[in-house]
Homo-oligomer: A and B are copies of this chain.
Amino acid sequence: MTREEIFEQIRQKRSFLCVGLDPDLKKMPECVLRNPNPIAEFNRRIIDATAEFCVAYKPNLAFYEQAGECGEAALKATCRYLKTNYPSHLLIADAKRGDIGNTSRMYAAAAFQDLGADAVTVAPYMGKDSVEPFIGWEGKWTVLLALTSNAGSEDFQMLELADGSRLWEKVLTTSASWAGPDKMMYVVGATKGDMFARVRKLVPENFLLVPGVGAQGGSLEEVCRHGMTSQCGLLVNSSRGIIYASVGEDFAEAAAREARKLRDEMDRHLTAHGI
């Protein structure tokens, strides 16, 4: 999926929402648990209810891995369901992978080929040759961790380097020479709203995948004020706030309601930015 195609979806739907598919059997209503593949069924109903309000879905692979073989099967079924029924939605495998070259190649194949994902999140610590195998895939996206939404981002990402910049800034500037804004996105947490102006100085055009709105307390308004470009340039993720809006039988309707609320807010921000 090209950058222009993503922007076109955003314009049409008046939304740059990404719905995080982080299924947790402890939070699912009983009606879903009686299905032979409860996680896939839960996701299917969330997807059907929210598809018109979002442009991307992001399964976090940890939630499926932890559920063993059934989780693995649910992840595959969910990805297949998305690619078949909602091919214009971006499918982001949130894997945060990264290893030496020949191993990263395996992770890239697992995400892009086996799952059919359009994008995969990648950790930068091991450097260029650990990221390049992801970049090498035609028509696919690498989403590199830059500045994450958690408290631990202070430990290393915010470290000041000898040249006065911060580590997360160096990750942006260094990796920008590996791939341009048509292949690379960056994770920048919404909890770091005041950093978005600085992010845009360094990577003016790249799409940013923004977690941390909702449960983690980030402000959509601040993210948009500093981070939005003329082609939007933002994919804002919400997981728990949408998929667990209700833990009753009305979970899908409640998810749709929350997604619509975010879409409406995003619509206003897009309009305010002349999009």
Contact = CB atoms under 8 A, between A and B. Distances in A.
Given A130-B152, A164-B162, A125 B157 contact: yes
A45 interface: no
A68 interface: yes
A169 to B, nearest CB: 11
A128 B109 contact: no
A106 B94 CA distance: 13
Contact of A126 (B126, B129, B150): B150
A234 interface: no
A97 interface: yes
Contacts of A131: 152
A156 B124 contact: yes
Interface string A204-216: 0000000100000
A150 B100 contact: yes
Interface in A85-109: 96-101, 103-104, 106-107, 109
Given A98-B96, A162-B164, A110 B157 contact: no
A114 interface: yes
B63 A103 contact: yes
A151 interface: yes
A160 interface: yes
A101 B62 contact: no
A139 B152 CA distance: 24
A130 B150 contact: yes
Interface string A106-141: 110110001000000001111111110000000000
Interface in A37-96: 60, 62-63, 65-66, 68-69, 72-73, 96
A154 interface: yes
Interface of A: 22, 60, 62-63, 65-66, 68-69, 72-73, 96-101, 103-104, 106-107, 109-110, 114, 123-131, 145, 148-157, 159-162, 164, 167, 170-171, 174, 211
Given A60-B103, A62-B106, A127-B155, 6 more contacts: A62-B97, A62-B104, A65-B106, A66-B110, A66-B114, A128-B152
Q: What 8 A-B pairs come out closest when comparing CB atoms?
A: A127-B152, A127-B155, A62-B106, A66-B106, A160-B162, A129-B152, A65-B110, A100-B150
26 contacts: A62-B97, A62-B99, A62-B106, A62-B107, A63-B106, A65-B106, A66-B109, A66-B114, A68-B114, A69-B69, A101-B150, A123-B123, A123-B126, A124-B155, A126-B150, A126-B157, A127-B154, A127-B156, A128-B152, A129-B151, A129-B152, A130-B150, A130-B152, A156-B167, A161-B161, A162-B162
